[in-house]
Structure 1
Amino acid sequence: MTPTATSYESHPCFGMASRSRVGRLHLPVAPRANTRSKFADSTKIKPAMLPEEALRWMDQVVKDGNEIGIVGITGPGDPLSVPEPTLHTLRLVREKYPDISLCLTTCGLGAAPVAVELAGIGLSHVTLLVDAVDPAITEKMYAWIRPSTKTLPLDEAAKVLVDGQVAAVKAFKEAGITVKINTTVYPGYNADHVETIASTMAGLGADIMAVVPFWPGEAVGEFPAVPDMDLLEAVRDKAARHLYLMPAWEACGESLVGLTGTDRREAQAIALPKPTKERPNVAVVSASGMDVDLHLGHAVKALIYGPREDGLACLLEARDLPEPGSGEARWEELAGLLSDCFVLLTASAGQKPREVLSRSGLTVFITDGEIAPTVDVLYGGGKKGKKCKK
C-alpha cells in the first residue's frame, strides 16, 4: 500500500509549507568523510568548526534576530565518521536551546552503535544517504569508502557500506528516530535501481524518501548525464509505491548551511584563512601526499606549499616536525617552525594544539580534501586555471 503524506505535511523539514516558515541552521562540525563519490567536486574547500565555535556562531545567528527551529549536522564530512564532535555539538545545542529540533545527515557507517545515544540527546530525525542497496552498484559510484581509518578494497568496502546502512535504519527505528532516505539519481548507474532502494528501505522501517537528480555543478570530470524530467518523474513514481516522497527538488542537506546568503558568507569568512606578507605559506600533514588524511598528533613531517616567483602556489619543501610526546611544548615548538604559514591543513586535531597554534597566528584547518585543489582555493583559485609544474 502506498504510504500517505498525512503525518509529514506539518513536519518542519518534510512539509512544503512548514519548510518555508521554519529556520534551519546546519553546523559544520564533522571533520572527516568516510566515503567519496566518483562525481564529487574536489575543488570546494569544506572546513570544519569546533563544537564550541559552532555554538558561538549559532548564538550570533540567534542574536541577530533569526528564529531557528531546526539545527542539523550535515558536514563537511560525515557526522558519524568521527562521532565525538557531532555528539558534543548536539549536547551543547540541546542544553542551551532545549526546544530546538535536532537532525543529522549520514551515509550510515558507524551509525548503529550511537543510535541510542542520539535518541537520548533528542535527535528528531536522521537523513540517510543511500544511492544503492546492491554492493555491485555501490562500487561503481564511489572513488573510495573508508569504514574505519583504513581504506578497504572498493568491492569489500561497498558491501560494508550497504550492510552498515541496513544496520543504521534498524538501529535508528528501534531507538525511535524518524528515518529519511536521500537518493540521488545517476543515469546509467542507479536510475533503474531506485525502486529497489525504496522497497528495501521501506521494508526496514524507513519513514520518508527524497529522490533528487544529480547535478555536476562546477566540477571537472567524467559525469553521468543529468536526469531528464521524464526519467526523473518515472523513477519517482516507482519509488512512491513504497515510501512517501518529499516533493520534487526538495532536499535537506549541506546546501542549507545558515539561513540566508549572508549567514553562509559569514560562515565562510569564519573558516577560510588568507595568506599575508608575513605568513604566505600553507602547511599540510598527509600520509599519502595526495590527500589531507593525517591526524596532526601523528604527523612528523609537513608539506609546505607557497607561491613561487611567478605567483603560482607549489610544493616548496617537506619540513620535519617535533616528535610526539612532549605535550603543549610540542605545539609551541611547532608554532615556531611554521611561523611562515597562515594555515595548517590536517584531517583531525585536538583542541589543545588548535588553541596553541591559533594564539600564534596559525589557523588549523580541518578537512579531508585533496591537497592540490584545497591549496589552490586558499590562494584564490579553485576553478579552471594554471597548474603548477615543477
Structure 2
Amino acid sequence: MSCSSSPAKGLPKDVEALVNNHPCYNEEAHHHYARIHVAVAPACNIQCNYCNRKYDCSNESRPGVTSERVSPEEAIKKVLHVGAAIPQLSVVGIAGPGDALANPKATFETFGYLNRYAPDLKLCISTNGLALIDHIDALKAHNVHHVTVTINSVDESGEIGAKIYPWIYHDHKRYRGVEAAQLLLKRQLEGIKACAEAGILVKANSVLIPHINDKHLGEVAKVLRDLGVFLHNVMPLISKKEYGTKFGLEGIPSASSKALMKAQEACGTDMKLMKHCRQCRADAVGLINQDRKDEFGKESFNALSIEELANAYDITKRQETHAKIETWRRALKGANARLEAQKIPSLLVAVTSAGQGLINQHFGAANEFLIYEVDSKGVRFSHHRKVETQYCHGPSACGNNPMDEIAKTLEDIDLIVTAKIGPCPKASLERYRIQISEEYAHEPIEASLLKAAKAFVPFAEEKVG
C-alpha cells in the first residue's frame, strides 16, 4: 500500500504489532477492523472555541457528542456486548465527551475492567494534553499503548492559542488568554515527550481553523516530528451555527477540502499523516466509516451481568475472525500489487466503498467518498469527503435531489469509481464533466484505480459550475 498512514516498511516488530490492526493508526486496517469509544469521561479541563459537548444527541457526528454517558461498569458491559456481536473489534478508546485525563478515576477504572475481561483489545485515550504528564505511569500500568493528543498550536507567545482556548483549568486555578495558551502548550509538549520516551505511541490531532492556525500547522508538524510523534492528523474545523460552538456562532467557516489538502501538503514533508479520520463521536461503534452506535444502547446489555457478557465474548472465535481478516489482507495486497503505471495522467479520483478495501458501494448509498490521488507514481489515499445528503434515501425521499450539493463537493474530481450508479445521477455528474466508472465493482481499490486511470480520456470542455 502506498497510503501515507499505512505503517512504513522497516518498523520495529513491536511497533508494527501495535498498529497492524488499529484502524486509526493504520489506514489499511480501517477497512477491516472496528473500534468502540466508551463515553465515561464527561468533564473537561479546557474550553475550546470549536467544541460544544452535547449529550442525548444522535444526529451529529463529531467529537464531543454522545447519545448516552456510561459508568465504568456499563462501559465494560458494552465493550463485551459489542465485541461478541462485532468480532472485528480491535480497539477501545476513551475520547470524552470531555477529556479522558480530566476524569482519571473513571478512565482508569474502565481500563482495569478491560485488562481483566477483554485483554485482546488495544486501549487508547484521547486528550488535550493538559494533564498528560501526570498520568504516564498509570497509562503504562494499564497497558495503554496509544495516546492521541489534540495540539493546535506550538506558538510560544500564546497568541494563536488564545484565539482557540478561552480558558484552561489546572491545579485548582482557571487561566485565561495568553497565559492559558502558554501553560497548555508547555504541558502538552512535556506529556508528548514523556509518552514517546515511555514507548507509548502518540498520534497528534490538529484542528485546521481558517484564519487562525491554517498557516501555522506546518510549524506544528516540525515540532511533533522532533518529539517523536508517530502520526499527525490534520482535521478540518466543523463549524455551523446550529452546533452552538463559539466559532460557529461567530461565523468562522468550516475548513474546505482544498484547505485541508493544502495543510496536509505543508505538514506531510515532516510527519507521517493520518488522512482517513472521520472525527468520531464519543460513543462511536464499528468500522470508522460505518457507525453502529444506535444498535448498542444501554437497553441492549444492562440487564445482563458482566460474567454473562464475558462468557459470550469468545476470544477464540474473535481470534479466528482476525486471522481470516489477515488472510484477506494478504490476498488484497497481492491483488493491489503495483501495475505498470506508464502514461497515467494525474487524477483526483473519488471511490464509493463499504469497507474491506473494495469498490463495493452503490453511488446512491454513499454519504462519503474516499478521495485518491493517482499518477505515474501510483495510488495514494488523500482524504474522505462527506455529503450532507446521500443521493438515494428510498422512495419516500424521491423528488429531493441532492445532486447539486454532491457535485459541488466533488467539483475538482476527475473520476468517480463506484460499484453501480443509476442513469440519472450519472448524466448529472457527466454534465459537471465528472467521469464515471462502474467497471470495477467489488474489485480491490488500488489496482482498479490504476486500470481506470489508464483508460481515462478527459472531457474536451471545461467543467460547469
Report TM bin, short chain. 0.5 to 0.7
* Paired letter, 1:68: L
Match of 1:36 in 2: 47
Q: Could you say if the C-alpha distance between residues 145 and 183 of structure 1 is closer, same or farther in structure 2, counting changes exceeding 3 Å?
A: same
Shift of 1:95: 1.3
In structure 2, stretches of 5+ residues that fail to align are: 57-65, 302-465
* Paired letter, 1:162: L
Distance 1:160 1:187 in 2: 24
Match of 1:97 in 2: 118
Q: Is the Cα–Cα contact under 8 Å of residues 195 and 239 in structure 1 kept in the other structure? A: yes
Match of 2:199 in 1: 176
1:298-355 deviations in whole A, cap 9, x for unaligned?
Answer: xxxxxxxxxxxxxxxxxxxxxxxxxxxxxxxxxxxxxxxxxxxxxxxxxxxxxxxxxx
Moved more, 12-21 or 98-107: 12-21
* Paired letter, 1:156: E
- Which of 255, 273, 282 in structure 2 is aligned with 1:227? 255
SS of 2:174's equivalent in the other structure is coil
Match of 2:219 in 1: 196
Distance 1:238 1:28 in 2: 34
In structure 1, stretches of 5+ residues that fail to align are: 272-390
* Paired letter, 1:263: K
Q: Could you say if the C-alpha distance between residues 65 and 182 of structure 1 is closer, same or farther in structure 2, counting changes exceeding 3 Å?
A: closer
Aligned pair count reads 269
Distance 1:25 1:15 in 2: 16
- Which of 78, 81, 102 in structure 1 is aligned with 2:102? 81
Q: Is the Cα–Cα contact under 8 Å of residues 78 and 298 in structure 2 kept in the other structure? A: no
Match of 1:23 in 2: 34
1:240 equivalenced with 2:240 (yes/no):
no
Q: Is the Cα–Cα contact under 8 Å of residues 39 and 222 in structure 1 kept in the other structure? A: no
1:239-272 deviations in whole A, cap 9, x for unaligned?
Answer: 111110012x52564356222644346437789x
Shift of 1:98: 1.2
Superposition TM-score, scaled by structure 1 size: 0.63
- The residue correspondences of 1:321-360 to structure 2 (distance < 5 A) are none
Shift of 1:29: 0.8
Distance 2:40 2:152 in 1: 24
* Paired letter, 1:119: K
Distance 1:267 1:97 in 2: 19
Match of 2:173 in 1: 150
- The residue correspondences of 1:279-290 to structure 2 (distance < 5 A) are none
Shift of 1:119: 1.6
Shift of 1:65: 4.7
Superposition TM-score, scaled by structure 2 size: 0.53
Match of 1:354 in 2: none
* Paired letter, 2:269: R
1:263 equivalenced with 2:293 (yes/no):
yes
1:72 equivalenced with 2:111 (yes/no):
no
- Which of 129, 145, 158 in structure 2 is aligned with 1:108? 129
Q: Is the Cα–Cα contact under 8 Å of residues 284 and 291 in structure 2 kept in the other structure? A: no
Distance 2:114 2:87 in 1: 16
Match of 2:281 in 1: 254
Q: Could you say if the C-alpha distance between residues 127 and 264 of structure 1 is closer, same or farther in structure 2, counting changes exceeding 3 Å?
A: farther
Distance 1:166 1:104 in 2: 17
* Paired letter, 1:187: P
Distance 1:165 1:14 in 2: 20
Q: Could you say if the C-alpha distance between residues 151 and 74 of structure 1 is closer, same or farther in structure 2, counting changes exceeding 3 Å?
A: same
Shift of 1:17: 2.2
Q: Is the Cα–Cα contact under 8 Å of residues 284 and 292 in structure 2 kept in the other structure? A: no
Root-mean-square deviation (Å): 2.6
Q: Is the Cα–Cα contact under 8 Å of residues 37 and 143 in structure 1 kept in the other structure? A: yes
Shift of 1:165: 0.5
1:133-152 deviations in whole A, cap 9, x for unaligned?
Answer: 12211110123221244322
Distance 2:205 2:136 in 1: 18
**Fraction of identical pairs, as percent:** 26
* Paired letter, 1:258: V
Shift of 1:66: 4.1
* Paired letter, 1:61: V
Distance 2:34 2:252 in 1: 34
Match of 1:164 in 2: 187
Distance 2:52 2:299 in 1: 21
Distance 1:43 1:97 in 2: 29
SS of 2:223's equivalent in the other structure is helix
Match of 2:142 in 1: 121
Shift of 1:75: 0.6
Distance 2:29 2:53 in 1: 34
1:55 equivalenced with 2:81 (yes/no):
no
Match of 1:212 in 2: 235
Q: Could you say if the C-alpha distance between residues 65 and 200 of structure 1 is closer, same or farther in structure 2, counting changes exceeding 3 Å?
A: closer
